[in-house]
Amino acid sequence: MKRIDFLKSLGFSTIAIATGESFLSSCMHMDVSPDISSVGDFITILKIPSEYALSSVLKAQTSQDTLLSKSKVNVLGYGENGLLGPTIKAQKGQYISLPFQNNLAEDTNIHWHGLVIPAEMDGHPDHMIKPNANFDFQFSVNQPAGLNWYHPHMHQHTGEQVTKGLSGLFIVESREEKALNLPRGSHEIPLIIQDKRFNTDGTIRHNPSRMEVMSGYLGDHVLVNGTNKPFVEVATGFYRFRVLNGSSARIYNLALSNNADFYLIGSDGGILPQVETLKSLMFAPAERADILIDFSNLKVGEKIYLKSEKFNGMGNSQGTQTFDILSFNVIKTETDTFKMPSVLLPLDKLSAASKTRQFKLTMGMMAMGGGMNKINGKTFEASRIDETVNLGNTEIWEFDNSTGNEPHPMHIHGVQFQVKSRSGGRNSIMAQEKGWKDTVLVAPNEKVKVQMTFTQKGKFLVHCHNLEHEDDGMMLNFEVN
Ligand SMILES: [Cu+2]
């Protein structure tokens, strides 16, 4: 096939193809779906992020970590301990102060993903923290117990900083959640799943081509908590896994290698009303899953894997392979007293919506100098307010990907929302969408409606959480007055 015909087959117009050799060559070096089923045993013990010590300084900095081999390489993280940051825990109702220091040679900031907090604390790209500068993040945590996270949020460089290691977990706990008596202590394990690519020297590589800015920058290794091919030792009981998809673009179709059921008890914004018994779970970037796994039917010495199965309908580069993520090695028997609750925590009903807004997701083929991924025909402009919302109002926002070819995990800042409907594509509300959400996967051909009440004043963002799409400008401002 001639190069020009090849590009046309990918959907490029003749005009787009005519716009420059550098674009052509970057396309020809594309690696749309790298092989992730690399050989090797799961023989490295799963790292667990440290717990944040209250009022200690979170420092964005370069440090060293072991990733693919035993030799240490330079990575980014929050602190001296290598990739990622400490897990912050706060009680519902707690006022928390998080001193932050930028020890990088470039600007950064922190977005508290999932937390409903004032705009000045939310980490808008307007609010950058310069090299060697510091900032005290202070806010009250007034939301249900759940797994949230934190990461940088600047325009055009979020993908690079997150990929190189800047992310951490923020867990909100509450009395209501404690009363459920869920597995805890050694039976509650955080899992940050991230695919990455590497340079020959073992450092993390971030160099998406123009093609990958559209199709997704997928890695060829999957790390869990920064561990390549990890195992975790378990006993024959129930465990609670607090799972974050911290990847740039990769969607996982989570399942267990023995085809056993697992139990979804929570998603982005907290605990679900009821347990969802699943064999598999489509899990998009920035989504969280609170999962219980029962190992009581296994014998000491057995191993099962958390894996990702093949899937369709999410663009050409996603779901092309089945691969293992994490090995569970059963090392001891125990008597487990955990009882699965028949109901979990009730989901508050939202008021009726006073307005519906449309967000049309499109991918323009070529815009030299500008973004290709657009919302309502626009790319991000920091000073432009795209939507104005009245404080206290309840609205429905519809994300319309009916003409798109790529999946978009859409994230709204400053709120937790409920998914009201999905038409086209998968045509139904998924298990993890039956509770509070801040990120919803909008697959090709789908229109998804979400509903929320705006309780925080100020300037916030709505954007795609495929980090290359976001950095390309698939992000708008909205202001709540
Ligand atoms: Cu997107």
Residue 327 neighbours by CB distance under 10 Å: 21
**Quick one: how many helices (H) and strands (E) in the chain?**
7, 32
Dist. CA 153–CA 142, nearest whole Å: 22
**What order do you get walking across the sheet with 387-389 strand by strand?**
387-389, 475-480, 458-464, 408-412, 439-442
Dist. CA 85–CA 290, nearest whole Å: 20
- The answer for residues whose C-beta is within 8 angstroms of residue 139's C-beta and 6 or more apart is 95, 96, 112, 115, 117, 118, 121
- Give 210 or 167, the one with higher predicted confidence: 167
Same fold? 185-332, 355-480: yes
CA of 101 to the centre of ligand 1 (A): 30
CA of 472 to the centre of ligand 1 (A): 9
At residue 40 the predicted structure's pLDDT band, cuts being 50, 70 and 90, is confident
* SS3 (DSSP) at 17: helix
CA of 359 to the centre of ligand 1 (A): 12
CA of 349 to the centre of ligand 1 (A): 29
> Which of 22-36, 234-248, 411-425 has the weakest average pLDDT?
22-36
pLDDT score for 368: 53
CA of 82 to the centre of ligand 1 (A): 29
CA of 237 to the centre of ligand 1 (A): 39
Instruction: Give the global pTM.
Output: 0.93
Which architecture characterizes domain 44-177 according to CATH?
Answer: Sandwich (2.60)
Tokens representing 56? 């200690």
- Side chain identity, residue 380: F
In the 3-class helix/strand/coil scheme, how is 121-134 assigned residue by residue? HCCCCCCCECCCCE
> Which of 12-21, 268-277, 359-368 has the weakest average pLDDT?
12-21
CA of 337 to the centre of ligand 1 (A): 43
CA of 469 to the centre of ligand 1 (A): 5
CA of 250 to the centre of ligand 1 (A): 11
CA of 404 to the centre of ligand 1 (A): 10
CA of 470 to the centre of ligand 1 (A): 7
At residue 472 the predicted structure's pLDDT band, cuts being 50, 70 and 90, is very high
pLDDT score for 70: 87
Strands 394-400 and 262-267: unpaired
CA of 426 to the centre of ligand 1 (A): 17
CA of 69 to the centre of ligand 1 (A): 33
Say yes or no to pLDDT of 83 above 80.
Answer: yes
pLDDT score for 363: 87
**CA–CA–CA angle 68, 72, 77 (5° rounding):** 90
Say yes or no to pLDDT of 2 above 60.
Answer: no
CATH of the domain spanning 185-332: 2.60.40.420
pLDDT score for 369: 53
CA of 473 to the centre of ligand 1 (A): 10
Across the range 446-456, mean pLDDT stands at 98
Strands 230-235 and 323-332: parallel
H/E run at residue 175: helix 175-178
CA of 183 to the centre of ligand 1 (A): 35
With beta carbons less than 8 A apart as the criterion, state whether 314 and 444 touch. Answer: yes
Say yes or no to pLDDT of 144 above 50.
Answer: yes
Instruction: For the chain, give every domain's residue range.
Output: 1-30, 44-177, 185-332, 355-480
Which architecture characterizes domain 355-480 according to CATH?
Answer: Sandwich (2.60)
